Amino acid sequence: MSATAAADADASPGAVATSPRAPLGINTPAALAAAALLGGGALAIGGTVSPRQAWLYLLGGALGLVLYHAAFGFTSAWRVFVSDRRGEGLRAQMLMLAIAVLLFFPALAAGSLFGQPVTGLVQPVGVSVAFGAFIFGIGMQLGGGCASGTLYTVGGGSTRMLLTLAAFIAGSAIGAAHLHWWAALPHLPPVSLVKSWGVLPALLASLAVFAAIAALTVVLERRRHGALAARPAPPRHGLARFLRGPWPILAGAVALAILNFVTLALSGRPWGITSAFALWGSKIAALIGFEPAGWPYFAAPAARAALEGSVFRDVTSVMDFGIVLGALLAAALAGRFAPVWRVPLRSAVAAVAGGLLLGYGARLAYGCNIGAYFSGIASGSLHGWLWLVAAFAGNVLGTRLRPAFGLEVERTPRLTGC
């Protein structure tokens, strides 16, 4: 099965799961191209922007490699739990969040990390977040991926996800233009559990909820199936498995939590993805005659500077570029990068509709599955918990809508994770 078939398995009506993966040869040209772009890009960014920005670019590459090799996604994990109560993906997410709060909460309470001032992603809690997360959840199932899933499957060779990404960027720009209206709707001010409760109570409460969610998935999965699903034996072992995958999903959870913490240390704030999409879409809008500089979204000096400056000076943008290239490197090492330019019409329509919902929803909700859910909860932000509830509800509806677009609702998680 080609890389694109695997990456598009979520989107193609007749695709089959790749379980277990058969050992394939390394795609040397693609691997060398990805490595050259990562290395050369880091040197260029280090020389023109700063060494720290170069490290963030390479950190994005590491995130992309982890996401691909561990097939760590949110969309498929939630879908198979909704459709068949298989909960391994959700349990991996709870482990990731547990490690993250253990790392983040003390640093955020201290206000600095290794001498670097740090702040969490703490946002208002209200109608905008609830509605944005809900439509983002629908978009996840129609588009075939979340924010991180879209980037790493594009890097892995998914042609369908290019449609989702393009619509994602457009939806993000539209959401940026409208955000001031949504932000004026009823809401609470930003609530930080770390500041409101203190580090230890916030930690204990968060860990208790993670444990309860994980336990619930175990109970429901065993009630439906009698036992938890067993993972197939990996086709590689030792160093070969480390370099070429596939990795255990729990290893991906641990790695993502640690790399998000490294992001906090390097950039002063947690990992995010979709603010870059809004920036790119707004820059494109300016080129075709719109005036995003007049939108309230870009009123703050830092936002205006990002709109007027190079995308390589934007932390989120360079990390997003790195994610795509890191996933490309991983796909090439796994021997699964082989794009095929063929997308069924109904699937393409779903990709575009899903991408628009993803982009618009992410802006209204102040982030995506990474910026609002993962990093929001890791920051102790109450809006991250509201995002989780509303987005999961959206995923339930989105899962029900998939067959109308010829999209499969599978019973076991895909190794693509999207």
Tens digit of each residue's pLDDT (9 = 90 or more) over 397-410: 999 999 999 999 97
Alpha carbons within 13 angstroms on the beta-carbon side of residue 285 total: 23
* Residue 17 domain-assigned (yes or no): no
Cis peptide bond upstream of 117, omega within 30: no
* Residue 23 domain-assigned (yes or no): no
- Distance of alpha carbon 57 from alpha carbon 319, whole angstroms: 5
pLDDT tens-digit readout, 274-318 = 999 999 999 999 999 999 999 999 999 999 999 999 999 999 999
Containing 204, the helix (H) or strand (E) segment is helix 199-225
Distance of CA 146 to the CA centre of its chain: 5
What is residue 414's predicted lDDT score, i.e. its pLDDT? 53
> Which sign does the torsion angle of CA 182, 183, 184, 188 carry?
positive
* Residue 245 domain-assigned (yes or no): yes
Number of domains in the chain: 1
Question: Residues 76, 416: contact at Cβ < 8 Å?
Answer: yes
* Residue 65 domain-assigned (yes or no): yes
Domain that holds residue 47: 28-229+239-404
What is residue 207's predicted lDDT score, i.e. its pLDDT? 98
| 2 — pLDDT class (breaks 50, 70, 90) | very low
Question: Residues 123, 147: contact at Cβ < 8 Å?
Answer: no
Structure tokens at 79: 């879908």
Other Cβ atoms within 10 Å of 341 Cβ, number: 8
Closest CA to 323 of 391, 376, 259: 259
Q: Residue range 62-80: average pLDDT?
A: 94
* Residue 12 domain-assigned (yes or no): no
* Residue 331 domain-assigned (yes or no): yes
Distance of CA 394 to the CA centre of its chain: 16
User: In this predicted structure, which of 147-156, 191-200, 372-381 has the lowest mean pLDDT?
Assistant: 147-156
pLDDT tens-digit readout, 113-156 = 988 899 999 999 999 999 999 999 999 999 999 999 999 999 98
- Distance of alpha carbon 265 from alpha carbon 249, whole angstroms: 25
* Residue 15 domain-assigned (yes or no): no
Containing 126, the helix (H) or strand (E) segment is strand 125-126
Cα–Cα distances in angstroms (integers) from residue 185 to residues 31, 66, 125, 278, 319, in the given order? 48, 38, 10, 21, 32
User: In this predicted structure, which of 131-135, 186-190, 235-239, 355-359 has the lowest mean pLDDT?
Assistant: 235-239
Q: Which residues does 108 contact at the CB level (< 8 Å), separation at least 6?
A: 118, 119, 120, 192, 194, 379, 380
* Residue 103 domain-assigned (yes or no): yes
- Distance of alpha carbon 74 from alpha carbon 145, whole angstroms: 8
Alpha carbons within 13 angstroms on the beta-carbon side of residue 240 total: 9
